[in-house]
Amino acid sequence: MGKITIDQSIKFLEFGFSNYSKLSSSKSKFKINRIYYSQQNALVVEYITTKKEPMDVKVELGEIISFIGSFYLSETIEGPEYEIPMFFAAMALSENKHKLIYAVSSHDAARNIMKGNSIEWLKNTIFEDQTSDFLLTQAKLKVFKIENALREIIYNILENEKSEDWYLSIDSKIFKDAYRAYKKATNNDDKSNSTILNYTYLPQLKTIIENNWNLFDIIFDDKNKFIQAMNDLNKIRRDESHNREITETILNNLSEVYEFIMSCITKINPEIIPHYIIENWRNSLFNIVDKLKSAIPLIDEKDRYNINKTLPAIKTFKNAISSAVEDLEELIYPLDKKKLHCKLLLIFKDLNNILKNMIQYGEKLKPNELENEFTKYSRKMNELNKFQEEYLLSEL
């Protein structure tokens, strides 16, 4: 019997995705649009996602590629032999079937995600997420989040300062225009309602904050930087609202404005924008772990007792661990991620203490004590790897 061709095996893969919840331990469900073999020798699974954040979409892409890999790359003693595609790919589509993110993995990258090694998979997978539709979607999402965060912080501060007459601090024309639109849309004449601010625009929000800068300087600190950020944001907002092309450069500029405004608000009132805390926590955690991986010493067994070789590597790793501990301690985490965050922090602190002891025993030429600490180090690194396999894919 000859090999089962890729075209033939696609039928089995389609069946696999239609029964995904039964064949995997995941609770995910994927709405598959089509599965095909591209001219670039990649088996492509197109699916429709409801996710908005790029990292959330990448988590889904990783899960799909893991499933494809398990179908073609898992070793079996018996059964038919399959023709294996050169690459595995997944394409996330919006609900109106616009392309969002395209991920292409080699066999090695697919094996990484199959083992739960999401960091290596992310590093070794090619992502194409710069389609005009996707960039426009990301721009709209960021502008929307900034507007809502500004409205809420304005209401909170003015309401706290002026109580039920908070709206008296707003320029009369701005308030009249917003109140008129609010009353027409809701048939509500309650002037104390914060929803009125939903009918304001970015230039008006900028004016409200400028006119009450003595109340907002504690949040944004630098008035000139705030004004410039709002001017840049308003220009991008005009392009986005007219569905003009959003380039990668424009999106990068928007991301800088987004980071400045949201981080300022988060430091003072984090409960206003919990989505930003989750997003920032995930991205920061990825960067911390990714930076740390490059500092892990590669110590051959034959060099294990060569202090001149191992000690410099251990010191470098100790510095990286210390830096990671500081970064994690300063990082604001979502309340529902506290257990996960604290577990990783504890692993890093334990590693930091173990490496500190290894350096001391190495410098004092105490091989027995050093060997005991090295055993602890190996166990703790296994714990870190297990942590990554169990948790990081779902979080990053």
User: Which residues lie closer than 8 Å to 165 by C-beta, 6 or more apart?
Assistant: none
The rounded distance, in Å, linking the Cα atoms of 285 and 361 is: 31
CB-neighbour burial class of residue 175 (10 A; exposed 0-12, middle 13-18, buried 19+): buried
- Here the tokens at position 134 are 């996707």
- pLDDT higher than threshold 70 for residue 299: no
pLDDT value of residue 274: 73
pLDDT, one tens digit per residue, over 212-237 is 999 999 999 899 999 999 999 998 88
C-alpha–C-alpha distance, residues 64 and 30, integer Å? 9
H/E stretch holding 154 reads helix 132-162
Q: CA-CA distance, 255 to 139, in Å (whole number)?
A: 9
Asked whether 153 and 197 are in contact (CB, 8 A), the reply is no
pLDDT at 396: 44
Residue 91's pLDDT is 94
As beta bridge partners, residue 105 has 88
Verdict on whether the full-model pTM lies above 0.75: no
Rg of the Cα atoms in the chain: 26
Mean pLDDT of the chain: 84
Task: List the domain boundaries for the chain.
Answer: 6-129, 135-272, 275-395
